[in-house]
Each structure stands twice: as structure tokens, then as C-alpha cells.
Amino acid sequence: MQTGEKIKKRRFELRYSVQYLADLIGKNRATVYRYENNEIQNFPLDVIEPIAKALNVSTGYLTGWDEYDSNIEFIDLSDTVSIPVVVKIPASVPIEAIKDVIEHINIPKKWTNNGKQYIGLKVNGDSMYPIFLDGDTVIIQLQPIAETGDICDCYVNGYDVILKRIILTEKSITLKPENPNYSPNTYTHPGEVKILGKVVQV
């Protein structure tokens, strides 16, 4: 297994998003993707050390000097389930009946314990920049309720509003973009907004 694959595997085990790992090592997401896709050969020590620290592994494990790091617990990535990725989550169609699927991705099977359901959603637009970029795939846990601060996929009066941070009060819900070029909007809730699910991973 190459260094990039080990980085990605360990990030997956820790349930770190690409953005979170990028923040930990002081890089941007594009750079982390390059690392994980093995576009960097012979990682220099000043690059591999902060990655190893962020992932709580040894530099030797990542570079192949040591095939096993006794300090970490590994997860069998074969123990996964496949979920569909879509560009729009239907408001009232069961997940097994969704037809407009563009690809499938794997998530840990244990995430689906207790009947939890997930779907992948392709980000469209830049309203949630810099957390999500246009074209990113996020994993949505399907659920009709969420908490203030969660990033959710919602419908407003029957129309899809992809990915906004929600702020709840007793009688209202505000859908807040991260990009300052966009304005938040407040609606009556319950009533005008239907929450389809919340983002749990990029």
C-alpha cells in the first residue's frame, strides 16, 4: 500500500473530512487530495511528519518503513456498505427507489447500525464555500430533525435548498450559507422547511 493510500485509509478510520485534515496540517484540500492520490512521490520529512502527527501514526508506517504501527487500531475497510450518490435528494422517495444515481461510494457498515440510512450528495455551487467546494461529495445521514449548527439538506415550501447551516428557534429556522456573498433566510418552522438529513462527512 502506497503512502497516499495509507493516509486516506487512516483518515477514513478516524472519520476525518479532507477539510479537517487539511486544517490540521496547514494545507488546502486540493493538496490533501494530491497526497491521497499518490501524486507526490518520496514525501519529504517536513511534509510527512505533520500528517503522521495529525493521523496519530508513525512516519515509518506511512512511508513503508514499518508495515504496522502498534499504537493504532485499524478498521477492516472491506466491512463497508455501498450508498448511492445523487445531485438532488428527492423529498418523499424511499432511498431504495431513488433512480437519479450518478455513482456509489462505500461507508463503514457500522454507521448503518440501528437502521440509520445515508446517501451521498454532490455539492452544486459555492454557497457553502470554503467548507464545501463545488463538486465535492458529502455524506448525508437521512433524518427529519437536526440541531442548531448542523449542516443540512432541506426543502423550503417544496423546493430543494441544498446544504445550509441551520439555526433553530422555537418557531423558526434560519438557513445560513457559509459564503458571505450569500444571505441567510429565515422561515417558519415547523411548517415551511422540511429537513431531509444532515452532513456527517465529506
- Active site residue ranges: 127, 164
Question: Could you tell me if 40 and 4 are in contact, meaning their C-beta atoms sit under 8 angstroms apart?
Answer: yes
Cross-strand bridge partners of residue 176: 165
Residue with cell 435548498: 161
Q: Is the dihedral of CA 32, 33, 37, 39 positive or negative?
A: negative
Instruction: Work out the angle between the directed axes of helices 45-55 and 3-14 (0-180°, nearest 10).
Output: 20
